[in-house]
Structure 1
Amino acid sequence: MRTIAVVNQKGGCGKTITSINVSAFLARAQRRVLLVDMDPQGHATLGLLGKTVPPSKTMYEVLVQGSGGNRAVLRDIIHSVRENLDVAPADILLSALPETLAGLVGRENILSDAIGCVAGDYDYLVVDCPPNVGLLTFNALKACSEAIVPMDPSFFSLHGIGKLLETFDVLARETGHHIAPRVLVTLYSGRSPFVKAVVDEIRHHLDGRHFQTVIRYSVKLAEAASHGVPIADYCRRCAGFEDYQTLAAEVLQQEAELLEARPATTPASTREAGAGDDWLLPSAPAATPEGVLFAIEAVGATHVQLAGDFNDWASDGSDMEPIGGVWTKVVKLPPGRYRYRYVVDGQWQNDPLNAVVEPSPYGGHDSILVVDDAGSPAHAN
């Protein structure tokens, strides 16, 4: 399951419109999509469910913890919008969450824990974040591995994007959780030389971290949201329809690139084990351009972590990301010899796809990984 946060601390940049319409077009492409509304304004909920009877339970009930630690289950609050598209609604109660959870250890990981129960039900999880960088947004970022950053082409937006990217860097440095952000230019009007200059500046300074697609200004997008429907159900002959359809195609192209980049050395027995339709298969550690890819199949698990010599066997920042029933994490490792294990729902285990193990001083066995000078892993003594 790909997890994508749609985030910008600046309001009025088309964030919720993007969340709604990229989700809808992915669903039209036969991908199972869950849109999680994490904005207390509940605009994504309103933009998909319309002015219907307010949901009896929302993300507030999922995220809040009572004295006994009981929470509503995410699956229980989900509303079906149409084929392949569901929404987990929000309302103004979410604004009380930071105060309600003040002092709670691990409060920034609650959404990560909550989505585990639906990881096998969807191909995409899209999170509409509030227009600020607080507890709700940090929960979304910790739960997601990618981010779409909508940005209207203005001077203040250009300045704010730099600050937001710094936030991603802080998150990676403090927690070890990495986000792959891409900036999306929205509300574009090519009539102004200044607007064109801002877009050129984005493409120059954010090489490889922006979408090629540009979302043009279209009043039809706002009209569709006011009717509680995506643009595809409101107007198919407008710039908004064309642009979000193109954006979804670009997101799907990234999916194809991930498919091509998956390890080619996956054992045939794994391919026959029922994971053949997933777009990432479990394997022994494999080299990628970003680092060493660790992947383990743990269908039904709610929390999987990677621990080893490279992170001092610490659990903080070691969370793996679910993609279907396969959990993954990419780690940059210098040449050397490493011990590692997986922690699946609190249970430590060695890598079932790496035959090279050594007894652990704490019981059981540690898997052994050797990274050569080229950055490629070898599973040998």
Structure 2
Amino acid sequence: MTFKVSVVGRKGGVGKTTTAIHVAAHLAFGDRRTLLIDGDARNYATTWAAGGHMPFTVDGIGGLMAVAEYDAAVIDSQADPSEQDISTLGKHSTVLLLPAVPEAQAVSGLIQTVQVLDRAGVSRDRVCVLLTMDTRVGTATQDAREALTGAGLRVLSRTIRDTVAFRHASGQSVLVHQVRNTAGKMAWEDYRAVTQELLELGQ
């Protein structure tokens, strides 16, 4: 059975496409034939992968018809998806991944998204939050984690550090560890840990 991760973000700038790209890469490097579905009308994932050096296949929404032919599939949802889109992705994904930056407005938006899933009957056991753009300074990330877990949401233990290496990687159509700086390699390891957590959740 195909392991399916849907990456959903109703707020822009939370690292949705960055997360989809790097989770797909780690799944592929784990010897899984992996498909990334670019469901965003802006085609950011397709543009990022345009250099042709990604270890996974990229396709548009039409590629959903071929998901069963792969060991793993990552769906980069459209920006600000409708409640119907969120419900559908929740029902048909192994894991629904919600990236969020550690700030109050993002926390509020996530809770609203999960309420949509609750109404659709999607188990919260298959929904998790990934805190991105973690500056590793101050208490914002911990405060967000506590607020989300207090609202009954599952928050992945690993966060994604905030680094300009992601912008360099996107501009060069490469993965973040291929950017020639230490922060990029550390961010790559963040996503390795996240992918492992997702696989464990999907078991």
Class of the TM-score when normalised by the shorter of the 2 chains: 0.7 to 0.9
Equivalent in the alignment of 2:21: 20
1:245 and 1:133, CA in 2 relative to 1: closer, same or farther beyond 3 A? same
More strand by share: 1
| Mapping for residues 111-190 of structure 1, pairs under 5 Å | 115-119=64-68, 121-134=69-82, 137=86, 139-172=88-121, 180-190=126-136
Structure 1 position 243, deviation (Å): 0.7
1:17 Cα deviation from its structure 2 partner: 0.5
SS at match of 1:216: coil
* Same amino acid, percent of matched pairs: 25
Alignment of 1:244 with 2:191, yes or no, is yes
Q: Distance in 1 between matches of 2:119 and 2:110?
A: 14
RMSD: 2.4
| Greater Cα offset, 137-146 or 3-12 | 137-146
Give the C-alpha shift of residue 86 in structure 1.
0.6
Residue segments in structure 1 that go unaligned for 5+ positions in a row? 51-79, 91-110, 259-381
* Contact 2:132/2:159 (8 A) holds in 1: yes
Aligned mates of 1:141, 1:189 — CA distance in 2? 30
3-state SS, counterpart of residue 213 of structure 1:
coil
In structure 1, how many angstroms separate the alpha carbons of the residues matched to 2:86 and 2:94? 13
Name the larger-Rg structure: 1
SS in 2 for 1:210: coil
Question: How far has the Cα of 1:82 moved from its partner?
Answer: 4.1
For 2:42, the equivalent position in structure 1 comes to 41
Q: Please give the residue correspondences for 1:1-381 in structure 2 after superposition, counting only pairs within 5 Å.
A: 1-50=2-51, 82-83=54-55, 85-89=56-60, 115-119=64-68, 121-134=69-82, 137=86, 139-172=88-121, 180-206=126-152, 209-235=154-180, 237-238=182-183, 239-255=186-202, 258=203
> Would the alpha carbon gap of residues 118 and 145 (structure 1) be closer, same or farther in structure 2, given more than 3 Å must change?
closer
Answer whether contact 1:8 1:150 (CA < 8 A) is retained.
yes
* TM-score, structure 2 normalization: 0.85
Q: Is the 8 A contact 1:36 1:128 kept in 2?
A: yes
Return the offset for 1:162: 0.7
Q: What's the offset of the Cα at 1:117?
A: 3.9
Q: 1:251 to 1:194 in 2, by over 3 A?
A: closer
SS in 1 for 2:21: helix
Change (3 A) 1:27 1:163: same
Q: Distance in 1 between matches of 2:33 and 2:131?
A: 26
Q: 1:192: Cα distance to partner?
A: 2.4
Where is the helix percentage greater, Structure 1 or Structure 2?
A: 2
For residues 46 and 107 of structure 2, the distance between their equivalents in structure 1, rounded to whole angstroms, comes to 28
The TM-score with structure 1 as length reference comes to 0.48
